[in-house]
Amino acid sequence: MSGDYHGSRLALDARRGGVWAALWRYFFRRRIAADACVLDLGAGYGDFINNVVARRRIAVDQWPGIADHVDKGVEAIVGPVSDLRAIADGTVDFAFASNLFEHLPQDVFVATLAEIARTLAPGGTLTIIQPNYRYAYREYFDDYTHVAVYSHISLADLLRAHGWEIVEVRPRFLPLTVKSRLPTWPILVAAYLRSPIKPMGKQMLVVARPAA
């Protein structure tokens, strides 16, 4: 990230923490076992990983401030997501990246995928949430650090091309940001997740695992 990204574009926002608490309660806790090892890539303020209940939680971000924001029980690694040497082979059950890969040049993204695959245990998965350019093209480059463009189709194809199997694709999973006009109350987040109609749904969810 260039400049004071967290001060200008990604300031601390309590609403974001509330949304992630609701996402954990109504979506992710059904997907992550209590005895799992969870890896949060580009963890930022720790909004996702701080809500996770699991045996081991690891947060990686090149932003030094990460250590001040993740919970005590979370292992904070300050460094690029393309270098996961601090994590042993085959130890991660659930890898997660939210709004990360659109910030990386494609060669760095591919290198990161290789590192993630190395760390995943048998049956481990990678869950990606990020803007879907097909639906968010008007606002996509309002974030000056976006350098790569993906739709739910191109992201899935890139993963396949680099040895991953696609498990699930949701083209419209969430609104683009908590700055949207949609309320962020937990009960409304739950209703949004359940609804087949996704107003302002501009973030996709893609789940993948290393191909056998």
- Largest Cα–Cα distance in the chain? 43
Determine the pLDDT at residue 189: 85
Question: Strand 120-131 vs strand 201-210: parallel, antiparallel, or unpaired?
Answer: antiparallel
The tens digit of pLDDT for each residue in 134-152 reads: 999 999 999 999 999 999 9
Sheet with strand 92-98: strands edge to edge:
74-78, 56-61, 37-41, 92-98, 120-131, 201-210, 164-175
Our count of domains for the chain comes to 1
Contact by Cβ (8 Å): 78, 67: yes
Prediction pTM value: 0.89
Which residue range is the domain that position 11 belongs to?
A: 5-210
* 161-to-149, 156, 210 alpha-carbon distances in Å: 16, 9, 11
Q: Is the pLDDT of residue 7 over 50?
A: no
CATH number reported for the structural domain that contains residue 154 in this entry: 3.40.50.150
The tens digit of pLDDT for each residue in 41-92 reads: 999 999 999 999 999 999 999 999 999 999 999 999 999 999 999 999 999 9
The tens digit of pLDDT for each residue in 59-71 reads: 999 999 999 999 9
Tokens 């695992």 label which residue?
209
